[in-house]
Amino acid sequence: MSSADENGMVRCYTCGKLHRWQDLDLGHYIHLNALDFEPDNLRPQDTYCNRFKHGNSGVYAENLINEIGRVRVARLRDLEKKYKAHPKKFTVGELEEIIQTYKDLLKNLQEVK
């Protein structure tokens, strides 16, 4: 995971507690399938914040605005409106590209070890 320190520890995006990266969930600012692969939408969260606090959305939004800015957060919201009005259907080619992107990222992470 790219936000892990040299010991494989990552802070939950919303509560700040440290966890092994393997023990974290991938939290979403906007819960919509079409945005599941949108990097600006995704951050590491512990199970408590992600599942039991339903993403801890208020803190998530505040942190995201502070991190990436209002313009990029507004872009996510615009995409949400767009995809709710016209649901995104991924093509086979798009899915293959996404799979390759994540395979490459995983390979790069394994090389760093």
- DSSP-derived secondary structure for 13-44: TTT--EEEGGG-EEEESS--GGGTT-GGGEEE
Question: What CA–CA distance (Å, rounded) separates 42 from 28?
Answer: 5
Q: What is the pLDDT of residue 32?
A: 93
CA distances to 23, 46, 95 from 7, rounded to whole Å, are 14, 17, 32
The sign of the dihedral angle between the CA atoms of 9, 21, 49, 61 is positive
Note the pTM of the prediction, 2 decimals: 0.83
pLDDT reported for residue 112: 59
Query: What confidence score (pLDDT) does residue 1 get?
Result: 43
Mean pLDDT by 10 residues, the chain (113 residues): 78 96 94 93 96 95 97 97 94 94 82 61
